[in-house]
Structure formats: C-alpha cells, structure tokens
Structure 1
C-alpha cells in the first residue's frame, strides 16, 4: 500500500489553485473545473470542489474550510529562502515564521485560503537530513 494523494475539498478551487501555484512554483494540472492536482515527486495534492461530494455520498461527507487537525507538508531545499520569497504573499496567512523543531526540521507554518495548515520545511539536524536525503 502506498499513500499517493491527499485531497482538499473546497468551495474555491481557483483560489486554492492560485495559492498553491504561487507557494510551490509548480503548475497544477486541471482535469475539470471541479478537480485539479498538484503532482509532486513523492505525492499529489488533489483539490476537489464541493460538487465532487456527490460522488462520495453527498454534501455532508466533507465540509470545506473546516480542517483543524491536518497539516499539508512540503519538503523544500531552503525554508528561509522560501520564507523570504513568500513572506509578502503569505503575510495574512503565517502562523509561525521559520523555526527549528525539536525533531530537526526548520518549519514555516501558514494557512491556505481555506484555513488548512501548510508546512514548508527543511531538515537541519544530522538525523533529519539523513531521514529525508532520498526524498
């Protein structure tokens, strides 16, 4: 079994597309107006509109903008450079500027327009660098 994708359900597909394209510098693949994917080397971030909920059992299956328990994480080469590049764009969304975590990653934590937590991180301790060297 392999985890290949995480999906955000939103009422604002275009807003999240613009946000994640700016943050990652990658182009999102748009399959339909209701379903897009940000395909990365190790996993995919899918974004589906609330219209897609009908395929999963109805409108009550997921609630856009109500996540309070998950963090979408991106391994980046240099979190300080990304912070410098994005600080103006993210100014209203930043939860925590780049900070070294006890487990050895330097993390920038912010929210996307739907309120989902996003973490850009760079391994900085010897153990963390080793852990992520092939990712």
Structure 2
C-alpha cells in the first residue's frame, strides 16, 4: 500500500490553490474549477471545493476549515531560505518561524487560509538527515 495523496476540501478553493502554489513553488494542475492537484516527488496534495462532496455522498461527508488534528508537511531544501523569500507573503499565517525541533528538523509552521497547520521543514541533525536519505 502507498500513500498517494491528501485531499483538502474547502470553500476557498482559489485561496488554497494560491497559498500552496506560493508555499511549494509548484504550479497546481487544475482538472476542473472545483479540483486541483499539487504534485511532489513522493505524494500529491489535492484541493477540492465543497462542490465535489456530492460525489462522495453529500455535503456532510467532510466539512471545510474544521481540521485541528493534522499537520501537512513538506520537506524543503532550506527552510530558512524559503522563510526569508516567503516572509512578506506569510506574515498573517506564520505560526512559528524556523525553529530546530527536538527530533532534528528545522521547521516553519504556517496556517493555510482554512486554518490547516502546514509544516515546511529541513532535516538538520545527523540523525534527521540520515532518516530522509541524506548524507
């Protein structure tokens, strides 16, 4: 079994697509006005409007902007550099500036327009670098 994607259901599809394009530096592939994907080497972040819920059983299947238990994480080459480039754009959504965590990652915590917690991180300790296949 392989994790292929995480899907965010939102009533703010254009805002979320714009946010994740800025944060990741990737361009979303828009399949319909109600659905887009941002692909990385290892997984896909899918963004669907509330209009897509009809295909999954109706409006009560998922509720936008209700998550308080999941962190969406992206490993980046240099989180400090990414923060410096994005800082002017991310003033309102920064939860924690780049900080070295006890497990060896330097993490930047943000909230997307729906309030989902987003972690951009770079492994910095020897153990964390090794964990992610680095030297």
Q: TM-score range by the shorter chain?
A: over 0.9
Aligned with 1:51: secondary structure? Answer: helix
Partner of 1:41: 41
Q: Normalization by structure 2: what TM-score?
A: 0.97
Segments of structure 2 that go 5 or more residues without pairing to the other structure are: none
* 2:49 aligned with 1:52: no
Q: Distance in 1 between matches of 2:27 and 2:93?
A: 21
Q: How does 1:98-113 map to 2 (within 5 A)?
A: 98-113=98-113
In the TM superposition, residue 133 of structure 1 has moved relative to its aligned partner by: 2.1
When the two structures are aligned, how many residues end up with a matched partner? 134
The answer to whether residue 3 in structure 2 is matched with residue 3 in structure 1 is yes
State which drifts further: 44-53 or 16-25: 16-25
Residue of structure 1 equivalent to 2:71: 71
Query: How far does residue 23 in structure 1 lie from its aligned partner after superposition?
Result: 1.1
Describe the SS at the equivalent of 1:108: strand
How far apart are the structure 2 equivalents of 1:15 and 1:120? Answer: 19
Secondary structure of the 1:30 match is strand
State the SS of the aligned residue for 1:114.
coil
- Partners of 1:123 and 1:89 lie apart in 2 by 24
Instruction: Tell me if 1:129 matches 2:92.
Output: no
- Please give the alpha-carbon distance, in whole angstroms, between the structure 2 residues aligned to 1:62 and 1:128: 34
2:12 aligned partner = 12
Q: Give TM-score scaled by structure 1 length.
A: 0.97
Superposed CA RMSD: 0.8
- The runs of at least 4 aligned residues of structure 1 exceeding 3 Å deviation read none
| Partner of residue 119, structure 1 | 119
Give CA-to-partner distance per residue, 1:49-85, whole Å, 9 cap, x none.
0011111111011110111000100000000001101
SS at match of 1:88: helix
